[in-house]
Amino acid sequence: MKQCKQCGSQFDTLKRDREFYQKIHVPEPTLCPDCRQQRRLAWRNERMLYPRTCDKCKKNIISIYSTDKPFVVYCSSCWWADAWSGIDYGQEIDFSRSFFEQFRELQLRVPRIALYGKNNENSEYTNHTDHAKNSYMCVDVGFGENILYSQWIIRGRDCADCYGVTESEKSYFSQFIDKSYACIYCYEAGKSTNCFFCTHVNDAVNCFLSSNVWHKQYVFMNERVSEDEYKRRMKEWDLGSYTTWCKAVEAYRAMIVDPKTAHKYTQNFSSPDSTGDMIGHSKSCKKCFFMSRGEDCSYCYECIDIKDSFDTYESGFACELQYETHACNRTSFSQFCSVCYDGSFLSYCDLCHNSNNLFGCVGLKKNEFCILNKQYSQQEYESLKEKLIEHMKQTGEYGEFFPASLSPFGYNETVAPYHYPLTAEETLTKGFHWSDSASAGSFGKTTLLPDNIPDHIKDAPDDMVKEILECVECKKNYKIIKQELAFYKQMNLPLPRRCPDCRFRWRMSLRNPRKLYARQCMCELTAHEHGGRCTQEFETTYSPGRPETVFCESCYQKEIA
């Protein structure tokens, strides 16, 4: 057992882990898996957006960097242009000083992109997006079109307020949806159509307020009914009405904790020898969360199409041998990097793209054999890199992700507090930054109070887009954009009474924490051929004491058969 140097907890370094570290020639970590993940999360600002001026073209832009940040910031057009090169900022290695001190100097000089995006079309107000089209206020959209207020949408279309949607269309307020159509307020649905307020459904069609529905259609509140009866009952639940919508939300939440609703201990599927949650079509992935098409990975979060990688967050699309990375799509054989796309053999790099064989670089594009942005021959590069690694080992810097002090953001601007909440004092004690300028939004400019918003979407006028609304939860002002209004009318959905940020937090509250607990199956059904309570044990994200009924794989499959 080792003791985490940050939180003091004990953690194991497994044989599998040690073999990986030896293969990529890095020392064993000094932080526990949670603290390692927290450190990476503190580099990711997804939702705090600020107005500022592009330091190149001087246009007014929206950026993830507030005006008090000490960086040079370019708009996307200027940053991706060939009019400047990161090589121009190259600096010599000074072996009399720490590497991270020199890296920080480079960070402060090289221009940073206002919002992370690549190959997008008409999607200026998006972040960490790739091949997004006609999308607005989204994060992590890849090859998506007409996506609003959503996150982690891969090859989706016409979706709003969703998370974790792949190859699906016309979903709203849903999470973990795959190859489905018109899933409204659903959690974990695959190959399903026209499902409303459902959880854990697969190959389901025309279902309402139901759970664990597999290969069935016309299921109303977990009761199989005829097509005519289903349509008759659905008329009584006109979801275009906000009043009815709230009633359905309340009924859904009651259904989730109803003892008769069985929850499988994990939502892993087609993933042998894997532990964690929301792992699909993967193999031998240990303590991973929200993983698709992964193989031989550990401690990876929100990854897709990745193999033989450890401690990776938000990377995907053909990745291999990554370690301690954040948002490195289509990047392989790389370590300790943040937001580097389409590269290989990168170490301690920040915001480098289409590049190979870099060490300690910032903002390079289409470059190779560089250290601290200075160009070298291949032979010089290899020699200096090994010398620098030895220097970093002597200073205690080599072998882990960037320290918290190098993050470009305040802790409270990043996604870290969603999983590891800290006070301002705790944040500073742990070495993270705190931002006093964290975006608070607009207040007090309301032109239409919540009680005066039309109850039914059919009564919402086209000029609703001119109104300034007030969130019923945080009182922040927000607006309905034209594209959004058209979506609600097409899908017969009421206008939201919460701002996008509060809707995001609401969705987050429906998800289990990314932590595993040892538990025993709760099944006591005599028809499942075990005397008394099932004795199967497992690791699950449902902590002891929660109200949900949690089953092992065998009992769950018998229950839905």
Task: Choose among 199, 144, 209, 146: nearest CA to 177.
Answer: 199
Q: What mean pLDDT is predicted for residues 103-128?
A: 93
Lowest mean pLDDT among 52-61, 173-182, 497-506, 527-536: 527-536
Q: Read off the pLDDT band of 387 (50, 70, 90).
A: very high
Q: What mean pLDDT is predicted for residues 507-531?
A: 90
Q: What mean pLDDT is predicted for residues 218-230?
A: 97
How far, in Å, CA of 173 to CA of 191, rounded?
A: 17
Q: What is the pLDDT of residue 559?
A: 85
235-247 pLDDT, tens per residue?
999 999 999 999 9
Query: E strands, 64-174, where?
Result: 73-74, 112-113, 117-118, 126-127, 129-130, 138-142, 145-148, 151-154, 157-160, 163-166
Residue 439 has pLDDT above 70, yes or no: no
Query: By the 8 A CB rule, do 371 and 360 touch?
Result: yes
Residue 205 has pLDDT above 70, yes or no: yes
Q: What mean pLDDT is predicted for residues 374-392?
A: 97
Q: What is the pLDDT of residue 130?
A: 86
Q: What is the pLDDT of residue 308?
A: 97
Lowest mean pLDDT among 20-24, 144-148, 528-532: 528-532
Query: By the 8 A CB rule, do 126 and 114 touch?
Result: no
Joined together, the tokens standing for residue 261 give 């609703």
Q: At what angle do helices 99-109 and 378-395 cross, to 10 degrees?
A: 120
Joined together, the tokens standing for residue 382 give 């290899």
402-438 pLDDT, tens per residue?
999 999 999 999 999 999 999 999 999 999 999 987 7
On the 0-12 / 13-18 / 19+ scale of CB atoms within 10 A, 164 is buried
How far, in Å, CA of 522 to CA of 265, rounded?
A: 10
A 10 A CB-CB count for 137 gives: 21
Q: What mean pLDDT is predicted for residues 51-74?
A: 95
328-369 pLDDT, tens per residue?
999 999 999 999 999 999 999 999 999 999 999 999 999 999
How far, in Å, CA of 402 to CA of 108, rounded?
A: 15
Instruction: Considering only CA atoms, give the Rg of the chain.
Output: 25
Query: By the 8 A CB rule, do 162 and 175 touch?
Result: yes
How far, in Å, CA of 206 to CA of 193, rounded?
A: 6
Q: What is the pLDDT of residue 438?
A: 73
Please report, rounded to a whole number, the percentage of residues in the chain having pLDDT higher than 70: 100
Query: Which H helix or E strand runs over 375?
Result: strand 374-375
Amino acid identity at 103: F
4-56 pLDDT, tens per residue?
999 999 998 999 999 999 999 999 999 999 999 999 999 999 989 999 999 99
Q: What is the pLDDT of residue 533?
A: 93
Joined together, the tokens standing for residue 315 give 């990377």
Residue 440 has pLDDT above 70, yes or no: no
Q: What is the DSSP code (8-state) at residue 110?
A: S
Query: E strands, 22-156, where?
Result: 50-53, 60-63, 73-74, 112-113, 117-118, 126-127, 129-130, 138-142, 145-148, 151-154
How far, in Å, CA of 503 to CA of 513, rounded?
A: 18
Joined together, the tokens standing for residue 486 give 């058209």
Does residue 553 sit in helix, strand or coil? helix
- Average pLDDT along the chain: 95
Joined together, the tokens standing for residue 230 give 């289903």
